[in-house]
Structure 1
């Protein structure tokens, strides 16, 4: 039995917790370093450093159990998106015009009902 694979009650291993700590540490170094060296280094150098640190953090996070699950989910979502039958331009325009027309009709109907209600309340209160 290896110590790295000892499961904790929440389902994560000690190695995963260490990897998440490293991920958070890398992100913190990116944020603090960018802020701390704002006057010292050029924007291009700081941006490159932040990008490298974020990429490293994502790389470490991708090796955890939750990171692998997230990558798997993203791949499955991508496959599902490919199965979607997207509407044509004509279908999109027709649907948009229908929604616009219904919205205008409902706005006019509600405006009319509101006007009637205001008059009824004014009659009832004598105002």
Structure 2
């Protein structure tokens, strides 16, 4: 009995995903087909079609999982301890300094290797 319910839910999800794909395709094709219509009207129609597709997609099992993931992610972001402005500036300056030093080292190494290659090839 459980497998029958799962199969029913799975086939209903497939129908919902089919409707989502049809809505998105209709939005894209309709936007192209009615190119002589007002840009505002076409934009509103595309936004409405995308919103309807999103609402339908959120009604599927995968959509519900994605929505739950987004909510849990939002909760986790609230738990993050963000650096102060001074800490962010210090870290930025350290990264810039390290990048500059590495760039100078690579420039010097490139110059040395270029001279070696020129010496070997006789150019």
Please indicate the TM-score interval, normalised by the length of the shorter structure: 0.7 to 0.9
Shift of 1:113: 2.0
Say yes or no: does 1:93 pair with 2:89: yes
- Take 1:48 and 1:55, find their aligned partners in 2: how far apart are those partners? 10
CA RMSD of aligned residues (A): 2.3
Shift of 1:91: 1.1
Q: How many residue pairs align between the two structures? A: 123
Which has a greater percent of helix?
2
Match of 1:72 in 2: 68
For CA contacts below 8 A with separation 6 or more, give which structure has more relative contact order: 2
Say yes or no: does 1:28 pair with 2:50: no
Match of 1:37 in 2: 34
Distance 1:32 1:112, change over 3 A: same
Give me the TM-score of the superposition, normalised by structure 1. Answer: 0.84
The runs of 5 or more residues in structure 1 that have no matched partner are: none
Shift of 1:88: 1.4
- Take 2:51 and 2:72, find their aligned partners in 1: how far apart are those partners? 22
**Deviation digits for residues 87-106 of structure 1, max 9, x if unmatched?**
11111111111111111111
Match of 1:16 in 2: 13
Match of 1:119 in 2: 115
- Take 1:4 and 1:60, find their aligned partners in 2: how far apart are those partners? 23
Give me the TM-score of the superposition, normalised by structure 2. Answer: 0.87
The runs of 5 or more residues in structure 2 that have no matched partner are: none
